[in-house]
């Protein structure tokens, strides 16, 4: 997993890849007490030429920056966000299923990890880029006819709660 941190008023520090691990948080962390956190989700999948592709990761980076600003957190620069995702996918490429067999779901998180009580900006922010699930995203092992059960979602349906942390 990729980890980077930022203290209030500072620029983001150099992130780095680390083995998957638990994160230690204060019981007064902004994300626990005030919900100061957001996530993005994207799928990494194999293309016909054998390469691994992501669908519009720049849009995930943009939404993450906008959400961070709304939540009073220092936004992760686009270049850093994209590099974190690419490093995470590269390190976990063995978990990307063959073309047509599913996808690797990647969920970058951004949350207030510093201790804070009261309405103000959290003093510390974490950015872990996590690899979460593989294969079962699009195809269950016990469901050979999953493609027949998938339906197109109407444009009138939203993937987020109105007026929530997502776009307004």
Give the span between the Cα atoms of 61 and 46, in whole angstroms. 21
The CA–CA distances, whole Å, from 63 to 103, 126, 143, 148 equal 22, 17, 33, 32
pLDDT of residue 126: 79
Give the span between the Cα atoms of 24 and 29, in whole angstroms. 10
pLDDT of residue 158: 53
pLDDT of residue 14: 87
Residue 91: which residues within 8 A CB-CB, separation 6 or more? 17, 131
| Residues 53-58: contacts with CB under 8 Å, at least 24 apart | 54/85, 54/89, 54/106, 57/81, 57/82, 57/85, 58/82
Decide: helix, strand or coil at residue 70: helix
Identify the segments of the chain with pLDDT beneath 70. Answer: 119, 129-168
Q: How many other C-beta atoms lie within 10 A of the C-beta of residue 19? A: 6
pLDDT of residue 66: 93
pLDDT digits (tens, 9 = 90+) for 84-121: 999 999 988 998 999 988 888 888 989 888 888 876 77
pLDDT of residue 49: 92
Decide: helix, strand or coil at residue 158: coil
Residue 133, H or E segment: strand 124-134
The CATH classification of domain 2-16+31-141, taken from the options 3.20.20.70, 3.30.470.10, 2.60.40.10, 3.30.1540.10: 3.30.470.10
Q: What is the pTM of this model?
A: 0.75
pLDDT of residue 122: 75
Question: What are the structural domain ranges in the chain?
Answer: 2-16+31-141
Q: How many CA atoms lie within 13 A of 164 on its CB side?
A: 11
């Amino acid at each position: 997993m990729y980890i980077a941190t930022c203290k209030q008023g500072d620029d983001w520090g150099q992130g780095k890849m680390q083995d998957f691990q638990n994160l230690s948080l204060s019981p007064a962390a902004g994300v626990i007490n005030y919900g100061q956190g957001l996530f993005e989700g994207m799928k990494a999948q194999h293309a016909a030429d054998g390469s691994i592709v992501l669908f519009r990761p720049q849009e995930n980076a943009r939404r993450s920056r906008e959400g961070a600003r709304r939540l009073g957190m220092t936004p992760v620069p686009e270049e850093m966000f994209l590099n974190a995702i690419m490093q995470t996918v590269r390190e976990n490429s063995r978990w990307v299923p063959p073309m047509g067999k599913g996808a690797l779901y990647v969920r970058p998180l951004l949350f207030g990890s510093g201790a804070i009580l009261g309405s103000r900006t959290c003093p510390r922010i974490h950015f872990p880029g996590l690899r979460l699930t593989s294969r079962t995203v699009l195809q269950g092992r016990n469901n050979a006819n999953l493609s027949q059960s998938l339906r197109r979602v109407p444009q009138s349906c939203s993937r987020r709660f109105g007026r929530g942390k997502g776009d307004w």
